[in-house]
Structure 1
Amino acid sequence: MDKRLLAILAAIGASAIYGLNHTIAKGVMPAHIEAFGFIMLRVLGASILFWLLSPFAPKEKIDKKDYPRMLGCAVFGMCINMLFFFKGLSLSTPINSSVIITLSPVMVLILASFILKEKITLIKGIGIALGLSGALALVLFSADSVSNAPNIPLGNLMFIINAFSYGFYLVIVKPLTKKYHAITLMKWLFLMGVILNLPVTYSEFTAVDWLNLPFDAIWRMAFVVAGTTFSTYLLNIYALKQLSASTISVFIYLQPLIAIIYAVLVGADHLTTIKVAAGLMVFVGVYLVSFKKTKTRA
């Protein structure tokens, strides 16, 4: 099979896993594991998998001057980012999370304008305004609560913080990706993530009745660790060998589509007028930001 086609399939596969994750992870909280306990399971499981894989990657020594940046990456990419996403998911709905998560490119642009001094054009400014307005609409005008979503506005606000944290992580991790192999970075960042998350997540992690978990909870947890956290990264790495980063970034639009279809089909969430309207504002805003960036590069 053509390598480019395989790369496209890998990128689609990664986005599909992310899309399914919104509902699958939601289904296990809080009945079997609380949000913060889930984060410890996620970073610990991924850390173990990446360290098991590390003997097959090039042996690299981390430069001492890079440790502060790596710590920052772990704080924003493996700690704040994950804690706010899963806590938000336990409070809100899968459709809201899948829509707001697409704000990450907008957050990257805002942060890049401050940190990297990139210019924000009029089109980009309109895109930022639309995207943030759509996200805020979900926070301000969603129902206060529904079944298995006890505080939707607070959960949606946490998704925005999650997108901001992940966007900052993408900005500060970029120099490291040019210097070190992906496996080298991931094994150290996730190990740091385990240490950083331990004080916050320990009590909820140890409160889980691990020996008596039903199969429905086990496969969902395994999916989040092996699928959402580990496999998606490897799929994206493979895709990057054949496709440009800008091409792969387009696949983020598949996440809410897959998440909404799956959530509605299994009855985990439902569409409302506010979700559709706010979602369109977010999508158009992100499109304007991404479109202008692609045009400039061309």
Structure 2
Amino acid sequence: MKNSLWVHAALFLVSLIYAANYSISKDVMPRYIGPYGIVVLRIVGAAVVFELLRRRFAGEAIVGRADNVRAILCGISGIGVNQLLFFGGLNLTTPINASLIQTIAPVVVLLASVVLLGDRITLRRAGGILLAGTGAALIILGRGSTPAATGPDVTLGNIMILLNATFFGVYLVLVMPLMRKYHAFTVLARIFLVGAVIAVPFGWQQVQAADYASFPPLIWVAIAYMVIMLTIVAYLLNNWALKYASPALLGAYIYLQPALAVLIAVSLDKDTLTWGKALQAALIFSGVFLVSRKPKEKTVIGEEVPLEPVQD
């Protein structure tokens, strides 16, 4: 029971950290530093920390051509391209839009498992994919709730968030064999190193262009939050909780993150919740529920795909 409470606490804290980021990031970018500059600070900082942890606690390296290629693909899909798309998209769209669109990551995990692992889709899950896809499409193509949330830039931002969720879904499928074979710090150190190699060329100019002397204390706190809490602490807590949490529990926390993001964004006056967005959220949640629900034994065609909460 005690361990179960710690698992719930860890998963809740991870959801809260990710949910708050949607609003906190909007205070920093693009006024103080560009979105790709934030990505560089975040990935490079995490790469250094995870490499130190690998040397201290793991002391191993990824070996073999197949595993090294897989690690590079994970660094591209789960860290480098994934983060550039997320912060670039969040810079253009609204916190609520971004949090709702990212909720379809479990759907992408299922589709990626079909393509990469040869799994099959049941009729119920096909219906879930349709519902979630419809909800995401309505958000991407629909009008925003405020004048600042309309126009081609917001549509582009929504599409980038969708691509971010897609790349992360592919990453979850690719990284599973590595996590089972190597220490978590070994895998994280490698994939963040790959991600840094990808991100630095895109964001280094924004890192250099920022006027750090003019940053108010709260902006430094927000940057520290994104580098330390969002990347390092959240990933470590999530990785620990995944050892004990069931897929059903993980599925429940998938819904908590956007709910918290909406509450935080609305309370801080960063976004507005409308009936239209509530309907779109209901479509996505219903679709994800159908996709995440474990099939009955007699209806199982392929293997069950483990689901994990969305990570930025």
**Mean Cα deviation higher: 10-19 or 54-63:** 54-63
Q: Which amino acid aligns with 1:11?
A: L
Q: Residues 178, 72 of structure 1: CA spacing in aligned structure 2 closer, same or farther, 3 A cutoff?
A: same
Q: Residues 60, 286 of structure 1: CA spacing in aligned structure 2 closer, same or farther, 3 A cutoff?
A: same
- Specify the SS of the correspondent of 1:27: helix
Q: Which amino acid aligns with 1:269?
A: D
What corresponds to 2:165 in structure 1?
163
* Residues 142 and 152 in structure 1, CA contact (< 8 A), matched pair in contact too: no
What corresponds to 2:184 in structure 1?
182
Number of residues of Structure 1 aligned to a counterpart in Structure 2: 297
Tell me the CA shift for residue 273 of structure 1. Answer: 2.4
Describe the superposition over 1:245-282 as per-residue Cα deviations: whole angstroms up to 9, x where unpaired: 55234312111111000100010001122211111111
Describe the superposition over 1:130-162 as per-residue Cα deviations: whole angstroms up to 9, x where unpaired: 101101101111239744887221111111101
What corresponds to 2:104 in structure 1?
103
- Specify the SS of the correspondent of 2:263: helix
From 188, 191, 194, the counterpart of 2:193: 191
**Mean Cα deviation higher: 150-159 or 283-292:** 150-159
Q: Give runs of ≥4 in structure 1 deviating > 4 Å.
A: 293-297
Q: Which amino acid aligns with 2:110?
A: L
What corresponds to 1:60 in structure 2?
60
Given the two structures, how large is their TM-score scaled by the length of structure 2? 0.90
Q: Which amino acid aligns with 1:250?
A: A
Structure 1 runs not aligned, ≥5 long = none
From 281, 284, 297, the counterpart of 2:286: 284
Describe the superposition over 1:146-186 as per-residue Cα deviations: whole angstroms up to 9, x where unpaired: 44887221111111101110001111111111111111111
What corresponds to 2:309 in structure 1?
none
Q: Which residues of 2 match residues 74-153 of structure 1 at below 5 A?
A: 74-143=75-144, 146-147=147-148, 151-153=153-155
* Residues 102 and 162 in structure 2, CA contact (< 8 A), matched pair in contact too: yes
Tell me the CA shift for residue 87 of structure 1. Answer: 0.7
* Residues 145 and 274 in structure 2, CA contact (< 8 A), matched pair in contact too: no
Tell me the CA shift for residue 192 of structure 1. Answer: 1.4
**Mean Cα deviation higher: 51-60 or 153-162:** 51-60
Tell me the CA shift for residue 217 of structure 1. Answer: 1.2
Q: Residues 134, 124 of structure 1: CA spacing in aligned structure 2 closer, same or farther, 3 A cutoff?
A: same
Distance across 2 between alignment mates of 1:115 and 1:148: 36
- Specify the SS of the correspondent of 2:28: coil
What corresponds to 2:222 in structure 1?
220
* Residues 106 and 292 in structure 2, CA contact (< 8 A), matched pair in contact too: yes
Tell me the CA shift for residue 206 of structure 1. Answer: 1.3
Distance across 2 between alignment mates of 1:204 and 1:195: 16
Distance across 2 between alignment mates of 1:39 and 1:220: 13
- Specify the SS of the correspondent of 1:241: coil
What corresponds to 1:231 in structure 2?
233
The alignment status of 1:264 with 2:241, answered yes or no, reads: no
**Mean Cα deviation higher: 234-243 or 276-285:** 234-243
Q: Residues 9, 294 of structure 1: CA spacing in aligned structure 2 closer, same or farther, 3 A cutoff?
A: farther
Q: Residues 146, 86 of structure 1: CA spacing in aligned structure 2 closer, same or farther, 3 A cutoff?
A: farther
* Residues 10 and 235 in structure 1, CA contact (< 8 A), matched pair in contact too: yes
Given the two structures, how large is their TM-score scaled by the length of structure 1? 0.94
What corresponds to 1:254 in structure 2?
256
- Specify the SS of the correspondent of 1:216: helix
Distance across 1 between alignment mates of 2:108 and 2:208: 34
* Residues 44 and 190 in structure 1, CA contact (< 8 A), matched pair in contact too: yes
Distance across 2 between alignment mates of 1:174 and 1:294: 24
What corresponds to 1:22 in structure 2?
22
Tell me the CA shift for residue 214 of structure 1. Answer: 1.3
* Residues 145 and 273 in structure 2, CA contact (< 8 A), matched pair in contact too: no
Structure 2 runs not aligned, ≥5 long = 305-312
What corresponds to 2:40 in structure 1?
40
Distance across 2 between alignment mates of 1:116 and 1:192: 24
* Residues 37 and 202 in structure 1, CA contact (< 8 A), matched pair in contact too: yes
What corresponds to 2:206 in structure 1?
204
* Residues 39 and 83 in structure 2, CA contact (< 8 A), matched pair in contact too: yes
Distance across 1 between alignment mates of 2:51 and 2:150: 36
Q: Residues 226, 153 of structure 1: CA spacing in aligned structure 2 closer, same or farther, 3 A cutoff?
A: same
